[in-house]
Amino acid sequence: MKKASEKRSVDMQIISDWIEPGSRILDLGCGRGVMLDFLKQKKSVVGIGVDSDPSKILTGVKKGLTVYQGDIEAFLASFPDGFFDRVLCSRTLPELSQPSKIMNEALRVGRRLTIGFVNQGYWKSRFGMLFGGGRLINEVHPYEWHESRPSNPVSIKEFEEYCTKEKISIARKVYLAGDWKTPCHFRSNFFGGYALYDLAR
Amino acid sequence: MNDAEDNVALDELGELGLVSYVDFVSREPFLYESGSEIPGFSLRYETYGHLNEAKSNVVLISHALTADHHCAGINSLQDRKPGWWNNMIGPGKPIDTNRFFVICSNCLGGCQGSTGPTSINPETGRPYQLEFPFVSIRDMVKAQKRLLDHLGVSKLHAVVGGSMGGMQVLQWAIEYPDLVERILPMATTSRQGSQAIAFNEVGRQAIMQDPEWMQGNYKENVGPRVGLAIARMMAHITYLSDKGMDMKFGRRRRSKNSDTNFSFDVDFEVESYLRYQGQSFINRFDANTYLYFTKALDYFDLEGQYGSLEKAFEGLQSKVLVIGFTSDWLFPPEGNREIVLAMLRAGKDASYAEIALDFGHDSFLVESPDLYELVRAFLDSD
């Protein structure tokens, strides 16, 4: 568990560094509100978290966070353009049923969109499938196939190709190695375990 | 029930036991939203727990259409049932009377001890009946504000209520933003929809078409009993759900013999239940109050009143948690969600949670650990 929380803290720290103090944040798939709570304390953000899981919403209420139980797409549709300074989509992307639609909507209601995901192109994932014949289990995707929700994993290469095609500009990005801690500067789609992007239209 | 059993019940942890009501009398004229005025009024209320020195631990409960000030504990050892939200309110319960000073008042226009259509009009010496001014949700709240002033309460830790109570909760936060720290409306709406108005109108017509209604001038203990019972039977269906009713009654018969009886007498369990609901209701509720309160619901429209929901919530300072229930088709989840979305668009601190229960609109009244946890967590939050 210690390892997991350590892994967690690096990407939270990076996202936190990107955020202006006091800004209005929307966290899509906020889970138990760990990130929101962190950003509230570190950057005094005005944050709203959306999640569909009632038990996670309860935890958010317990922490005194502002949380909304419901569907991400319907939530986004209820807000005017540029309402949020930043929309966060941390470890949520592979679970969205229509990622492009949600990214477009997030870029409409938010002036920035911050996305973090586990790189499916990471060498261990490739080798795991090639030699082990199965998926890689990690902190973000900890479950075997029969216990997990439908997931739509994405690689750094695929994601960046999509951004180019859709003319989404990547203002900032960080690749982390397999430990999700050390920066990765070399052949990121192969050696990078985790990727973080700050996007804008 | 014998005395020994009573004592066991009263000793149980978490029960308030015997409680009694108090009547607050305001002798100042009260101006209604409609422009009418009455020289004064009284409100019947109950309190549980202790007001702390800072007077900062007050939780106000707003009641629904046919409920009253008696929301927890029992009024006498002969009571067959405790107050209507006894599962929620009491020592150690989600609205914990060991911590909070709980106030619940009967609404203005009511028939359970507060000034309403059955009260004597001091100008005529006769009951108001239909001369009673039209009462709005806002009037109910403004009248209760006088009670708070009388009690010296100038801070509400929270205002909590479902259905019509939820409407009052919203109105409290709009009307008195400095006073209200938290609001917890549930199973409610910011705007009575067409379907809900339609059901209320059928209820009103059942009463008003009953010859015993006599244009509202019926005498005490008589009146449109048939009409009121039918109104209640129909309304009660809207508080339940298809699935909930099927689980509770199915097609079960009153007689052991499940053959078709070819009879118009009570045959199915659900018929018997509704008739019982209708009959018990007429013994505790006034038909004219039913007309006034259903109109208060129907006229409730924050959007219409303030131009938009965002405008309605502009001045809000409370922390908000709205709770919707999946099977509620009278005030469905969408309407509850819309309240929160508008508050968020207005830049307010509003959360939304939804509870999956099969009991329809009345889900907020049933035992639900999920609901309890949410209420407890929200009342604890900073």
Residues B351, A65: C-beta atoms closer than 8 Å: yes
Chain-centre distance of CA B297, in angstroms? 11
What percentage of chain A has pLDDT greater than the value 90?
75
Q: Provide the mean pLDDT of chain B.
A: 95
Mean pLDDT, to the nearest integer, of B260-284?
92
Other beta carbons less than 10 A from residue B44's beta carbon: 20
At A134, list the tokens: 């199965």
Domains in chain B with CATH codes: 3-193+300-380 (3.40.50.1820), 194-299 (1.10.1740.110)
With a threshold of 0.90, tell me whether the complex ipTM lies above it.
yes
Residues B349, A75: C-beta atoms closer than 8 Å: no
Among A91-95, A149-153, B55-59, B358-362, where is mean pLDDT lowest?
Answer: A149-153
Residues B377, A61: C-beta atoms closer than 8 Å: yes
Domain boundaries, chain A: 2-200
Give which of A46, A68, A75 to mutate to test B binding, by max B Cβ within 10 Å.
Answer: A68
At B167, list the tokens: 């409407």
Q: Which residues pair with B89 in a beta bridge?
A: B95
What percentage of chain A has pLDDT greater than the value 70?
96
| C-alpha span between B71 and B61 (Å, rounded) | 8
Pairing of strands B30-31, A66-69: unpaired
Residue B148 pLDDT greater than 80, yes or no: yes
With bands split at pLDDT 50, 70 and 90, how would you rate the model's confidence at A7?
Answer: low
Active site residue B42: no
| C-alpha span between A168 and A99 (Å, rounded) | 14
With bands split at pLDDT 50, 70 and 90, how would you rate the model's confidence at B99?
Answer: very high
| C-alpha span between B135 and B36 (Å, rounded) | 10
At B65, list the tokens: 């259409």
Higher pLDDT residue, A128 or A163? A163
What percentage of chain B has pLDDT greater than the value 90?
91
For chain A, the three-class secondary structure string (H helix, E strand, C coil) is CHHHHHHHHHHHHHHHHHCCCCCEEEEECCCCCHHHHHHHHHHCCEEEEEECCHHHHHHHHHCCCEEEECCHHHHHHCCCCCCEEEEEEECCHHHCCCHHHHHHHHHHHEEEEEEEEEECCCHHHHHHHHHHCCCCCCCCCCCCHHHCCCCCCECHHHHHHHHHHCCCEEEEEEEECCCCCCECCCCHHHHCCEEEEEEEC
Show residues of chain A in contact with B353, CB under 8 Å: 54, 57-58, 61, 67, 69
| C-alpha span between B374 and B220 (Å, rounded) | 43
The total number of residues shown for chain B amounts to 382
Q: What angle do CA A146, A149, A151 make, to 5 degrees?
A: 105
Among A59-68, B252-261, B270-279, B280-289, where is mean pLDDT lowest?
Answer: B252-261
Residues A57, B353: C-beta atoms closer than 8 Å: yes
Instruction: Give pLDDT tens digits for B15-59.
Output: 999 999 999 999 999 999 999 999 999 999 999 999 999 999 999
With bands split at pLDDT 50, 70 and 90, how would you rate the model's confidence at A147?
Answer: confident
| C-alpha span between B264 and B248 (Å, rounded) | 22
Residues A58, B374: C-beta atoms closer than 8 Å: yes
Residues of A in CB contact (< 8 Å) with B are 46, 48, 54, 57-58, 60-70, 75, 78-80, 83
Active site residue B114: no
With bands split at pLDDT 50, 70 and 90, how would you rate the model's confidence at A8?
Answer: low
Size of interface A-B (CB pairs under 8 A): 53
Residue B257 pLDDT greater than 80, yes or no: no
Of B337, B351, B380, the CB nearest to A67: B351
Q: Yes or no: say if B213 and B224 are a contact pair by the CB < 8 Å rule.
A: yes
Mean pLDDT, to the nearest integer, of A177-196?
92
Show residues of chain A in contact with B356, CB under 8 Å: 54
With bands split at pLDDT 50, 70 and 90, how would you rate the model's confidence at B281?
Answer: very high
Residues 6+ apart with CB under 8 A from A41: none
Q: What is the pLDDT of residue B9?
A: 46
Instruction: Give pLDDT tens digits for A148-169.
Output: 888 899 999 999 999 999 999 9
Residue A139 pLDDT greater than 80, yes or no: no
Residues A64, B382: C-beta atoms closer than 8 Å: yes
Q: Which CATH superfamily is domain A2-200 in?
A: Vaccinia Virus protein VP39 (3.40.50.150)
| C-alpha span between B128 and B121 (Å, rounded) | 5
Q: What is the pLDDT of residue B184?
A: 98
